[in-house]
Chain A
Amino acid sequence: MKSAVSLPYLAVATLSGTLFGSGLYVSQMIDPLKVLRFLNFGAIPSGGWDPSLAFVIVAAIGVMYIAVRIRNKQNAPLFDFKFHEPVAKQLDAPLVIGATLFGIGWGMSGICPGPAITLIAFMPENLMIFLSALFVGSFAGTYVQDWLTAKEVAA
């Protein structure tokens, strides 16, 4: 039976989450300094730039691309009735505004949502501050998104 609380469905979520978290550790992307040293393009001339993150994302996209190709031959995933494709297709203001705000926040701390979660395993000082703010920001974002969308429709 296909349901979001069936055993195979939750087993896939468990396996995927475990792989994701261990991948973040193995790639060292949970280390904010490692991420910041990738984002620090200013260090390229001096040789202090760390290009590791590019290798992480290229490998991840490469493997995921295979899944995308397999999906094109399937009508439905194994344990759900349909693929939950993102519905939005248009390039709009919320996409660009959101990506800009995220870029500023990411550049400030070197932490994006995945590492923020997996870092709970290591509990560095002040992580709870980041996670609380992440939660508040995400909650507030729902309303900002509605407001931006309403404005665009009105315009």
Chain B
Amino acid sequence: MRTKGARGVGRKTEIIVEAFSPVTALIGGAMIGLASALLWLGNGRIAGISGIFGQLLPPANTVTWRLVFLGAMIAGGLGAAFLIPGLGVGGPSGEPVQLVGNPLWIAISGLLVGLGTKIGNGCTSGHGVCGLARFSLRSLIAVIVFFGVATVTVAVTGVV
């Protein structure tokens, strides 16, 4: 129930209540941590997605497990969506997930993510999860830089 005059404020509150999801965030995060732990203790590999993806390109010598892992990531998302429908796709409102921006914007973004993670040797998973858990100074610097730059980019471009 909202009065007409307070519509703007009321709407904003509604978005926050819908958006903040600490429980699923913690559970999902623990699953990502467990996935990284398994790959590290089982196969001695860092679960850094940009690295697993990026080394599919020449020179490639361990293509099989990388393809298996990436395929399983897709299947995992699909399976979880089947078991718990409407959670991750578009949030609790259940709208289909959408990319932000026009095709050119998306292409530039993809190019920068590919280029940057290759040159900087890692992304949110490799530097952010595995690197920080290993107390790697390189990863700490990378995380500070890419988180900082990303927040500035959002502030400047105003996409949300």
Using a CB–CB cutoff of 8 Å, the interface residues on chain A facing chain B are: 4-5, 8-10, 12-34, 36-37, 39-43, 46-48, 50-53, 55-68, 70-71, 74, 76-80, 82-84, 86, 88-91, 94-114, 116-122, 124-127, 129-142, 144-145, 148
Contacts and interface: CB of A to CB of B under 8 A. Distances in A.
Interface residues of B, number: 115
Contacts of B54: 138, 141-142
Given A40-B160, A109-B106, A141-B119, 14 more contacts: A9-B43, A14-B69, A19-B32, A21-B73, A23-B32, A25-B76, A26-B28, A56-B25, A67-B38, A77-B41, A109-B109, A109-B113, A122-B97, A124-B98
Contacts of A99: 116, 120, 127, 141-143, 145-146, 149
B133 to A, nearest CB: 4
Chain B binding surface SS class: helix
B103 to A, nearest CB: 5
B44 interface: yes
7 contacts: A13-B69, A17-B71, A17-B73, A99-B127, A108-B108, A113-B50, A113-B53
Given A19-B76, A119-B97, A37 B33 contact: no
Interface of B: 12-13, 15-16, 19-22, 24-47, 49-50, 53-54, 57, 62, 64-65, 68-81, 84, 87-91, 96-101, 103, 105-121, 123-125, 127-134, 136-138, 141-143, 145-155, 157, 159-160
A47 B110 contact: no
A67 B32 CA distance: 13
A91 to B, nearest CB: 6
